[in-house]
Homo-oligomer: A and B are copies of this chain.
Amino acid sequence: MIPIDHPRYHSLVTRERLADAARKGVVAMEGLTAHGRGEAFDYLLGERTTMSALRAERTAAALLLSARHPVISVNGNTAAIAATEIAALQKATGALVEVNLFHRTEERIQLIEDLLTNAGADVFSGPAERLLPLSHDRAWCRREGMYAADVILIPLEDGDRCEALVKMGKTIIAIDLNPLSRTARAASLTIVDELTRAVPEITRASQELDTDDCACLISRLDNHYLLAEAICEMTTRLTACSGLKNTGQTP
Q: Which residues of A contact B (CB under 8 A)?
A: 15, 18-19, 22-23, 29-30, 32-41, 43, 178-180, 220, 222, 224-225, 227-229, 231-232, 234-235, 238-239, 241-242, 244-246, 250-251
Contact = CB atoms under 8 A, between A and B. Distances in A.
Contact of A36 (B35, B239, B241): B35
A218 B39 CA distance: 34
B222 A231 contact: no
A241 B227 CA distance: 11
A224 B238 contact: no
Contact of A40 (B15, B22, B41, B251): B41
Contacts of A178: 40, 43
Contact of A242 (B18, B36, B38, B180): B180
Question: Which residue, A33, A224, A232, has most C-beta atoms of chain B within 10 A?
Answer: A33
Contacts of A32: 22, 29, 32-33, 36
A58 to B, nearest CB: 13
Contact of A33 (B18, B227, B234): B18
A245 B244 CA distance: 25
Given A227-B244, A235-B235, 17 more contacts: A19-B29, A22-B29, A22-B32, A29-B32, A32-B33, A33-B36, A35-B36, A36-B37, A36-B39, A37-B43, A179-B242, A180-B241, A225-B251, A231-B238, A231-B239, A231-B242, A238-B238
A19 B23 contact: no
Contact of A238 (B43, B234, B241): B234
Contacts of A244: 224, 227-228, 231
Given A36-B33, A36-B35, A239 B235 contact: yes
